[in-house]
Every structure is written in C-alpha cells, then in structure tokens.
Amino acid sequence: MTTIEKQINILNILLSIDYQREALFELAIKNYQHTAFDIKDTKLGIFLENDIYQIFVLPILTQKISKSIKRELKSSVSKKQYIITLDETGKNVSSENIITINSIDWMNKIIDFGINKQILNLKLIRDYHTNN
C-alpha cells in the first residue's frame, strides 16, 4: 500500500465518524449545514455527497489532481462544491473552492468536539442520577 493509499484510508476512517467530519467541515465551509453524506473512496481522496454538497477531501493537491476533480464536479452545478486538502503545499494550486486546512487545527477541533461530547454525556448521567 502506498503512502497516498494509507492517507486516503485514514481519511475515510476519520470522515466516517460524524463529529470528526463536522469538525473538518466547520473549519472549511462558512455557514456549513450539518447533513448526512454518502462517502466514497477514490484514487485521489475521499468524495462526499448529499443533496446540498459535493466535497472532495484530499491528502495531497497538485494542479493535475485539481483539474481532474474539477471535471468530475462540473457534472452537478446545482450543489455547493468544495475541494478540501490537508496538504499545505496545495496552497500553490490556484483555483476557487479549494480550501487548505491545517491538520493540527482539525485535530484540535476533533479533540474539542470529543471533550464537549464526553462532558455532555457526564452531565446526562449526573442528571439521571439526581432525578431518581
């Protein structure tokens, strides 16, 4: 398995968990609407789609990859379309709707979501016991 394939596999695992996917999309997309997605592996990255969005999440981004993805995205212009990359060198690829996210920022957001979720669970358990 190549490094890219390993990265795509890890991205797929991360993005299949709701709060981890939500953390990434909140960092990347203004006014993001929380909705369920169909998630598919591609040879370039992860493709997520629903009634509102078409989103590619890529471990690396080159001009060639960008052109290839744009051809695929043109098939549905009625949806909001984004290309999210975790590759800091992807900033050199000029195009609209390409968003570079620092993976450390994403990790910190996931941790915050996880901590908040655990605190909420603890509060629910506390409230359950205080009401009995």
For the segment 39-57, what is each residue's pLDDT rounded down to a tens digit? Answer: 999 988 999 999 999 999 9
Q: What angle do CA 53, 37, 23 make, to 5 degrees?
A: 85
Name the pTM for this structure. 0.80
How far is the C-alpha of 27 from the C-alpha of 88, rounded, in Å? 15
DSSP E strand stretches across 18-131: 38-41, 46-49, 53-58, 80-85, 98-100
Read off the pLDDT of each residue in 100-128 and give the average, rounded to a whole number.
Answer: 82
